[in-house]
A and B are shown apart, each in its own frame.
Chain A
Amino acid sequence: MAAPFSAEQQKRFDEEMERYLARFPEGRKAAAILPGLHLVQDLVGWVPPEAMVQVAQKCQSTPERVREVATFYVMYFLQPKGKHVIDVCTNISCSLRGAEPLIEHLEKTLDVHMGETTKDGMFTLREFECLGACGNAPVLQVDSRFHMNMTLKKADQLVDDLRKQAAKKA
């Protein structure tokens, strides 16, 4: 089985897992599965099956159980995603404040449908359930960071800024 991590990532994974495992009593180390999966995703951008095996070993659990958990929660990506994930809330409060036109606009601008990743691999666009920022609707998150009181103009600006950032780094 291919190694899921680089040597440096492996070191961080091992260290951070120790920190999480210490929080739970003996015989209950499986409680670190959710933090472990978050950690994997932070390190490699998604949750490859090989990493699930490692999480299972650390948590004294089985790859089957880790996979069951990973497939239940929507925040874990089971295949590679775009560099940035845009989650647009479309629940009731955001819809009452314009989530539908916002989504339509983003689909057109990025040339993708909901759930898809742009051809250049920059953005994954998703429809998301209530993000808990209804007082600043419509809202979206980029990589779990809030952007509130969105307008079509602000969405354009946001996409533009992220593209510029990426170009600078490249």
Chain B
Amino acid sequence: MAERLLTKNWFQPNGRSLSFYKQNGGMESLKKVLQMKPADVTAEVKKSNLRGRGGAGFPTGMKWSFVPNVEGPKYLCINADESEPGTFKDRYIIEQDPHSLMEGIAIASWALGVHTCYIYIRGEYLEQAEILEKAIAECYEAGIFGKSVLDSGWALDVYVHRGAGAYICGEETALLNSLEGWKGWPRLKPPFPAVKGLFGAPTVVNNVETINTLPLIFRMGAEDYAKLGTDKSGGTKLISISGHVAKPGVYEIPMKTSYLDIIHKPEYGGGVPGGRKVKAVIPGGSSAPILAANELDVWAEFEALKAKDNMAGSGAIVVMDESTCMVRALWRVTKFYAEESCGQCTPCREGTPWMERILRKIEEGQGEPKDLTLLLSVVNSIAPYPPIGLGTTICALGDAAALPVHSYVAKFRHEFEQHINEHRCPFPHPFGILADEGVRA
């Protein structure tokens, strides 16, 4: 197994405490950074090739460099609105190593000239919000946050802000609107948040894992960190694996790790229970196009997936074995987007429930041959594919809802046709044998 760098502190007794964190080398990177000029900190992050871990994979250092050097308030917002189905790595970071996130916040704030940071956490993560509150309080007490960060004379306040149940608020401009006390409607870009973000001020929104990685980068050095990864994406990363595998969980992987290895190796997913074969895999959150079993020999990282018109997204891998019905699976995924569409743009607001109704009809055995044509016509009105990113909506939720529909139908068309021809779902366990077995144990 590769060396655990991001996760070295995980699963330790008392691992959430500041004293544990400091005893294991914590806050040393912050001390180093406070001796550097802010612009040099950003330059190091650029050199590290760190790419955003929230889903889009945008280079973090570049994002920071878009913040104009102007007087007046600037903000850092940590995106802890982890809601992409299949993703649970940020929850692990908060539960297992909250002070690494705290140190990362201080490092990023110094680099950006920020005095106020808000951690926007999804409302359902109540216990996790409490863990963060506790970690923040410890940092204030130790002089890491507050009026003078480690006696540097620079002030930093950090607050937890709970969302209230809306997937859309993980989109960075919806997050900002929600934080300002509006419903979570995404904003038109430009202006980008770096120029005009929270309260109209320059703002950086970064994912929990992205910020959590900063202490490691400054501990080992940006160049060494970059070398761990590929040419365009530095470091190691976290993946969340779930569904039909023996060992679901969060694992730290080298960038050059294939889906086959992640699913089958004993140190990661541990294979499919019951000796069944893999049928399909969601490679990067439910919004990503699905991979068929013969497409899994590819690295689970941004560029490798992009070359295949796919996306590594948030690193959420969901495995479906051969007993799973792909119509049922797609119906469930689509139902999510229908539920979570914020209602701002017509193609998404009207299109997502329409697709859900068509898919339900097919799954229930009421489908007609014209329904597949209709489904594809609706999905093309939201976002044609390939490539990714042709959506007709303000934010990427339209694309996110469309990509599964395009890909499931293209790769498993025979299953949709079989449902329509036989007027029934031909699978005795539509969500797989495991769905019916484990829960009844």
* A interface residues (Cβ-Cβ under 8 A, vs B): 23-25, 28, 30-35, 37-38, 59, 61, 65, 68-69, 72-76, 87, 90-93, 95-102, 128-138, 141, 144-146, 150-153
Contact = CB atoms under 8 A, between A and B. Distances in A.
A150 B439 contact: yes
Interface stretch (B42-50, B137-145, B162-170, B229-237): B162-170
Contacts of B125: 132
Contact of A144 (B126, B161, B243): B126
B304 to A, nearest CB: 23
A145 B324 CA distance: 30
A73 B165 contact: yes
Chain B interface mostly? mixed
B249 A135 contact: yes
8 contacts: A65-B182, A68-B182, A91-B332, A92-B86, A96-B243, A97-B434, A130-B336, A146-B127
A90 to B, nearest CB: 7
Interface size of B as a range: 35 or more
Interface of B: 73, 82-88, 90-91, 118, 122-127, 157, 159, 161-167, 178-184, 199, 240-244, 248-250, 282, 286, 316, 318, 320, 324, 329, 332-333, 336, 339-340, 342, 431-432, 434-441
Contact of B124 (A31, A34, A141): A141
A102 B431 CA distance: 13
Given A38-B123, A75-B124, A91-B336, A134 B88 contact: yes
Contacts of A145: 126-127
Contact of A92 (B179, B249, B282): B282
Contacts of A72: 166, 183-184, 342
B435 A144 contact: no
A54 to B, nearest CB: 15
A132 B88 contact: yes
Nearest to A136: B248
A93 B166 contact: no
B439 A32 contact: no
